[in-house]
Amino acid sequence: MAQVLRGDLLAREIEEELRGRVAAMEAPPTLAVVLVGDDPASHIYVSRKRKAAARVGITSIEHRLPAATDEAQLLALIGALNDDPGVHGILVQLPLPAGMAADRVLDAIAPGKDVDGFHPVNVGRLSTGGQGGLVPCTPLGCMLLLDQVVEDFRGLKAVVIGKSNIVGKPAALLLLERECTVTVTHIHTRGLPEICRGADIIIAAAGVAHLVRGDWVKPGAIIIDVGINRIPAPDSRPMIVGDVAAEECDHAAVITPVPGGVGPMTIACLLRNTLDAAQRR
Amino acid sequence: MAQVLRGDLLAREIEEELRGRVAAMEAPPTLAVVLVGDDPASHIYVSRKRKAAARVGITSIEHRLPAATDEAQLLALIGALNDDPGVHGILVQLPLPAGMAADRVLDAIAPGKDVDGFHPVNVGRLSTGGQGGLVPCTPLGCMLLLDQVVEDFRGLKAVVIGKSNIVGKPAALLLLERECTVTVTHIHTRGLPEICRGADIIIAAAGVAHLVRGDWVKPGAIIIDVGINRIPAPDSRPMIVGDVAAEECDHAAVITPVPGGVGPMTIACLLRNTLDAAQRR
């Protein structure tokens, strides 16, 4: 049986550590969360982040703007948050309503407060292996999970499925920084099963339910399943499943569950980034 | 026989096009080249860049600083060049003398004048596929060469040898942007010959003379040889060779020569970046 690497448990440990760090500070850090419009999933995510911040003692302030907000108003709010010394981290929940350019909005966040790690300066620091940047939360969570089970990454073959700016590309760059041989695959990749069969580490971030089958996985591989997919279930309530057919992967060495794997780590890393941003100032 | 893809000829065509663009401008753009210390290779590179700039009508101004210059003086010069509206591109020739932090120096260049594409903002834009950044010259030259022989990159397997910030990583990101499946390899990679044998495109940027042997190359592959290595020659004058044993690669579809391949393209792309920087202002 593969070891189930529980992100929920590791996230709890990280929160415990962060709680200690916050308690040692003169004043708790503040995270500003900006939510535009009424995407139901976004509201759920924001509420989870608020609760997690409260657990570790980070103050979170929500700015809810109507879907009809124009970009200039949003940019003005970001400018005010950038200038506010009482705000240590700024998160603009994606996706933004149609008509707003996410890149212009993300570019406007002060890099030192960009706790999502999406500003070009932070992306650039990650790419060059430079210090002092903020790393996107989901790939950072993947690496902290891998650190639990991998001692020496050097020369391991890692396959990343998906090349998004939020997960795939930054995860590939982090693995490269650790001296893995890294292959990035995506929708146009041919022969993906064969490529995966060569992998010591698979990071599956395609957003396709059960894409990775058991016979794509070599014995002893380590699998990080980033997927969070809703599929119809027999009792007609949708079920959450990952990108990996986990029940076929007993021969893997390690696999993260969905839910309870990467998801909770993403939130823990957001809190960690907020604390890092506050303490670097 | 493999097609020899001559970068010197393509660079000449690009220079021709740039000459036309410069002639159509009200005033020629200005490139400021900063050279610290007396590294002999750096002096050769800077002299080549100056001559190439002159050929297309770009004004180049050299700032030569002694090796004993301290970082603050260099940063002050960069600040002045950033503020000078008559300077459109700034290039600080690397390597810098010991004791200077290249990342602090490169961070100080205004991103819009960073014609080497090494500033974190430009690296970040390249990584996310965003528009408006300046792309590092050598990987940009590689892509322009590939554009001569590849119609559709989608799904092609590309292997990049070397993961430097100057060539390997940006080349990988550019290939990914074109929808290649990309594997980045390096000194810690195991089984490199086998990995190369699966490649439709190989970008060799390891800096190791004749690293890639003929039997690492599958029939019909396209090889971009970035290496510029000096090796002893029979008549005792050193010879310049690439990272690929080209004489063993007749079965490749295409190969770039060394010299006369990527090298001249790097300089042509520097000029192109300078013009782009001037015209975007």
Q: What domains are defined for chain B?
A: 27-110 (3.40.50.10860), 137-263 (3.40.50.720)
Mean pLDDT (whole number) for B158-186 = 98
Q: What is the pLDDT of residues A94-149, one digit of tens each?
A: 999 998 999 999 999 999 999 999 999 999 999 999 888 999 999 999 999 999 99
Q: Which residues of B touch A179 (CB under 8 A)?
A: 186, 188
Task: Give the pLDDT of residue A237.
Answer: 83
Q: Which residues, at least 6 apart from B153, have a Cβ–Cβ distance to it below 8 Å?
A: B146, B175, B178, B179, B180
Which of A200, A246, A209, A193 minimizes the C-alpha distance to A2? A246
Residue B163 assigned ligand-binding role: yes
Q: What is the pLDDT of residues B49-82, one digit of tens each?
A: 999 999 999 999 999 999 999 999 999 999 999 9
Q: What is the pLDDT of residues B121-154, one digit of tens each?
A: 999 999 999 888 999 999 999 999 999 999 999 9
Predicted-complex ipTM score: 0.96
Q: What is the pLDDT of residues B228-277, one digit of tens each?
A: 999 988 877 889 999 999 999 999 999 999 999 999 999 999 999 999 99
pTM score, whole prediction:
0.97
Mean pLDDT (whole number) for A266-270 = 98
Residue B60 assigned ligand-binding role: no
Q: What percent of chain B has pLDDT over 70?
A: 100
Peptide bond into B95 cis (omega under 30): yes
What pLDDT band is residue B29 in, cutting at 50, 70 and 90?
Answer: very high
Strands B181-185, B157-161: pairing kind: parallel
Task: Give the pLDDT of residue B146.
Answer: 98
What pLDDT band is residue A234 in, cutting at 50, 70 and 90?
Answer: confident
User: A244 has which bridge partners?
Assistant: A212
Q: Give A102→chain B minimum CA distance, Å.
A: 11
Task: Give the pLDDT of residue A281.
Answer: 84
Q: Give B175→chain A minimum CA distance, Å.
A: 11
Residue B187 assigned ligand-binding role: yes
Strands B239-241, B254-255: pairing kind: unpaired
Q: What is the pLDDT of residues A2-27, one digit of tens each?
A: 999 999 999 999 999 999 999 999 99
- Cβ(B203)–Cβ(B158) below 8 Å: yes
- Cβ(B121)–Cβ(B131) below 8 Å: no
Residue type, B273: N
Give the nearest partner residue to B184 out of A120, A122, A176, using CB atoms.
A176
Cβ <8 Å between B124 and A124: yes
Q: Which residue of B has its CA nearest to A186?
A: B181
Residue A13 forms contact with B (CB below 8 Å): no
Residue A157 assigned ligand-binding role: no
A236 has a pLDDT exceeding 80? no
Q: Give B235→chain A minimum CA distance, Å.
A: 39
Cβ <8 Å between B127 and A155: no
Give the nearest partner residue to A124 out of B127, B182, B189, using CB atoms.
B127
A230 has a pLDDT exceeding 80? yes
Residues of A marked active site are found at: 49, 93, 116
Residue A237 forms contact with B (CB below 8 Å): no
Residue A182 forms contact with B (CB below 8 Å): yes
- Cβ(A119)–Cβ(A132) below 8 Å: no
Q: Which of A119, A184, A200, A201 to mutate to test the interface with B (most CBs of B within 10 A)?
A: A184
Q: What percent of chain A has pLDDT over 70?
A: 100
